[in-house]
Amino acid sequence: MTGEERRKAIIEIISKSTKPVSGTALAKQFQVSRQVIVQDIALLRAADYDIYSAARGYMLMPSLSENKNKEVSKDTDAITRVFHVSHTDEQMEDELNTIVDMGGRVLDVYVEHAVYGAIRTALPIACRRHVQEFMSSIHSGKSTPLKNLTAGDHYHTVEADDEDTLDYIEKALKEKGYLCSE
């Protein structure tokens, strides 16, 4: 298998996956080193594939739209919406649980930094267990919330099965004071 064939196969695998795919699993599948996979991912990113590294592997994410509003997800019939939110560190768990409890799946988090522009990372959270795992990594000191770069202001791309679910999520976030007015 050539490098180009392997990279096409990598895109195929991560685009069909609903959860992050680890570099180790890809290396094992293609019988190459983890470093070769890292280089392949770098080449794919340079070719304009929106591949993001999450704590549990690689994901192909929907692209940021200029209107930051609504779009149909590339891989499913699910609908995505970007929510502009702000809250304290103490409210972070409640914000994420609000989204998943109402049927939403958080795909990412990003901030609009004054100097660096958009900084975005995958944040695949689909249930309370994922929220707990994320909060544990924050509380352990392994990481700090991206929102802290922008005084709490950040965005989440949220996926749901229908517009009504996204509307309910939006209403709940607004009622709790997390939703920012545009």
> Both tokens of residue 21?
């795919």
Domains and CATH numbers, the chain: 3-60 (1.10.10.10), 70-175 (3.30.1340.20)
The pTM is what? 0.62
Average pLDDT, integer, range 6-12: 93
DSSP-derived secondary structure letter, 113? E
pLDDT value at 61 more than 80: no
pLDDT at residue 151, rounded to an integer? 80
Say how many Å lie between the first and final Cα of the chain, rounded. Answer: 49
Work out the mean pLDDT of the chain and round it to a whole number.
Answer: 84
116-144 exposure pattern, b = at least 16 Cβ within 10 A, e = fewer: eeeebebbbbbeeebbeebeeeeeeeeee
Q: For 89-141, how does the pLDDT look when each residue is reduced to its tens digit (9 = 90+)?
A: 899 999 999 999 999 999 888 888 778 777 888 888 999 999 998 899 888 88
pLDDT value at 69 more than 60: no
Q: How far apart, in whole angstroms, are the C-alpha atoms of residue 35 and residue 47?
A: 18
Q: Between these two residues, 148 and 153, which has the higher pLDDT value?
A: 153
Kindly give the pairing relationship between strand 57-60 and strand 105-113. unpaired
59 forms beta bridges with 52
